[in-house]
Structure 1
Amino acid sequence: MSGSAAEHGEDMRRHGDGRGRALLDALLEGRSDPGLAARAAGALGLPERGRYVVAALAAGGCGPAAGALEADGLRFLRRGRGDREVLVVALGDRDPAVLAALLARWCRGPGGIGPVTDGLAGLGAARRLAEVALLTCPPGTSEVVRLEERLPAALVVSQPQLSARLVEDVLGPLLAAAPADRALLLRTFEAWLECGGSAGRTAGRLYCHRNTVLNRLRRLERLTSRSLTRPRELIEMMLALDAFRLTARQP
């Protein structure tokens, strides 16, 4: 092939790649122009209908994961969106949990994975939900989570004004306590939840006596005017804890 012919072919390939990226960006933005998904499918060499999932990570979080994902047989496209890195993954018949495990292994995180969508036209909604899942990762963590695993926290981060009100109403007196005391009670409550409400297991995790755990929980109940034995009040406290960890301005 002559030099000019080769250059012409490279120009055509670049033009095609650029068009595909532009169409993919339009889908990720949630545009619903007639025929957009079909045009994107043709330009990207992907089926218009199929099982896709979108993952959102902090910018640069995917790092060298491209080779690892391809080696595992997953077709994916990567796009940057401001301080986010977005992966569009063609799952085929794979379980999305496989993708979560791979990203947790190969990416620095944190990251969020949205629900499976059954075609390219659903990428906009899938991207938004993946970013919500990402917001459920507390600051400083490197975990990669699926939205389905974080639905209560996702509700909290999706409504920051209501979340702030929830924190104020439920945790207000507790937040007025000394920072060290506040942190101790919240850490005990969080450990108690993770231990399935077992004071004994919580004591083992926190390296203290079971009665110490019970005393801290009783203090938490007094400060919040809520009981851990009443389901509705327990739910309020759990959601308020999520809101405080994820959205509230912590003093």
Structure 2
Amino acid sequence: MHPCDTLTGVRAVTPEFLAEHRRDRLEVVTDRLGETIQRDNAGYRHAGVVPLADLRQSCHDNVARVLELLAEAVEVGTVTPRGDREPAYDAARATGRRRAEQGLPLDDVLRSFRIGGRLIWADLVEVGEDALDARELREIGTWLWEVVDETSAQVARSYHQHERALVRADEQQRAELWEGLLHGRAHDPGFARDAGSRLDVPVDGPLLVVCAADLDPVAADLAVSPHASAWVRRTAEVVGLVALRRRSPDGPDEAYVALARLAERDAVPLGVSGVVPGLAGVDEGHRQAALALRAQGTTVGVAGFDQRLAEALLLSAPDVGRRLRALWVDPLLALPGGEGEALVATLDAWVAGGGSATAAARAAHCHRNTVLNRLRRVAAVAGRDVPDGCPPVELDLALRAHRLGL
């Protein structure tokens, strides 16, 4: 049975006792805890990485918080829930972070919290035997261990978070890791496992690779949550890995929506790969995302590789793109007086309209007959066949090559 189901009937003296105990016994318990950890926790004693002043301050702050949380739990019948910003656990989070920085093993850190729980309980029993009855002491003990368990969980969470932060803060290590990923080293299972562990992304799960000319990696990580992600700023680009949630059938669409919001918010173009099968596909995914980004140019928004295949083809074979442009577009632009620009704009509208002269006329703000006359003019100048109602694939690719600046 949960303690909150049996707490009714506890005398008002219990909260008063806990408040008095916290006021009178905090320093005593703090001193005992520091001495006991030094004597009984070999990790602290042998590692020599935690200064005594640091240890005592940590003991003081955490004992104070545990006693505050205990009093609150007894009074309201519940332990304060965890949360990354819950101030009741600030001492626990600070301890986890500092011990990770100092390199003290987490097991030793958590052992010190168990020692602290036992000492607090022993002191409560010693001081409370005359003020409280046995039932009240038992219920206080039950609440105390719930508080200690929750506090220990906060310590572990903060410790692990800071461990990952330390990995990410090592720029040289991260640079080598990312360069290996982007150049295909994740085809080696050992490297892939190491990279997945360090970047906190799945080794074999489906991923999207994202490229941007500039982007805040921290903001990007938050923007795509709850998808796990990892980001790196390279010399000429920012690259991200976005892990798709396996249990969400809308995973890719969900991630694309988050990336689109990010692109609009930061007013940047983003190139996004197709879904790649884990870290072993990151090198190919990076190539796809980079091509999609080049195809997007400076236009704000998300460019998916699968939606930019024609442009990707041209960018992968720029000599072909340049030749297509030379055959179709360059002769038109050589015409004097702006005629060439008008002809190219008409061709763009005609191709976009699927070969409909009526649709092209609406888009180009001219008469349908004007469109037809211009198409005949294109055929004459470029020396290419322009069949009615059916834009040649070569023409479509030539116009795309022109827009890409090939």
Q: What is the distance in 2 between the residues matched to 1:236 and 1:158?
A: 16
Task: Name 1:100's counterpart in structure 2.
Answer: 256
Structure with greater strand percent: 1
Q: 1:242 — aligned with what?
A: 400
What TM-score do you get using the length of structure 2 for normalisation? 0.54
Do residues 44 (structure 1) and 202 (structure 2) align?
A: no
**Larger-Rg structure:** 2
Counterpart Cα distance in 2 of 1:122 and 1:185: 43
User: TM-score under structure 1 normalisation?
Assistant: 0.84
1:101-143 Cα shifts (integer Å, max 9, x gaps): 33222212222111111111111111111101111124x4223
8 A contact 1:54–1:113 mirrored in 2: yes
User: Residue 213 of structure 2 corresponds to which residue in structure 1?
Assistant: 58
**SS class of match (2:392):** helix
Q: Closer, same or farther in 2 for the Cα pair 1:79/1:243, shift >3 Å? A: same
> Is residue 210–residue 271 contact of structure 2 (8 Å, CA) maintained in 1?
yes
8 Å Cα contact 1:157/1:247 also seen in 2: no
Give the corresponding residue for 2:314: 156
2:222 matches 1:79:
no
Give the corresponding residue for 1:26.
180
Please state if 1:123 is matched with 2:298: no
Percent identity between the aligned chains?
33
Q: Which whole-Å CA distance do the structure 1 matches of 2:218 and 2:375 have between them? A: 43
Structure 2 gaps, min length 5: 1-49, 56-94, 104-162
Q: Report the 3-state secondary structure (helix = DSSP H, G, I; strand = E; otherwise coil) of the residue aligned with 1:49.
A: coil
1:198 aligns with 2:356: yes
Q: How big is the alpha-carbon RMSD for the aligned residues of Structure 1 and Structure 2?
A: 2.8
The letter for the 2-side match of 1:74 is H
Q: Is residue 10 from structure 1 mapped to residue 101 from structure 2 by the alignment?
A: yes
The number of equivalent residue pairs is: 245
8 A Cα contact 2:314 2:401, kept in partner: yes
Please tell me the residue identity of whatever aligns with 1:201.
Answer: A
In the alignment, is the contact (CA less than 8 A) between 2:272 and 2:292 conserved in 1? yes
In proportion to residue count, which structure has more helix?
Answer: 2
Higher-RCO chain (CA-CA 8 Å, sequence separation at least 6): 1
Q: Please state whether the residue corresponding to 1:41 is helix, strand or coil.
A: helix
Q: Tell me how far apart the structure 2 counterparts of residues 179 and 49 of structure 1 sit (CA, whole Å).
A: 58
* Range moving further from structure 2, 204-213 or 171-180: 171-180
Moved more, 39-48 or 6-15: 6-15
Greater mean deviation of Cα atoms: 230-239 or 211-220: 230-239
Question: What 5-or-longer segments of structure 1 have no aligned partner?
Answer: none
Change (3 A) 1:173 1:11: farther
Aligned to 1:110: 269
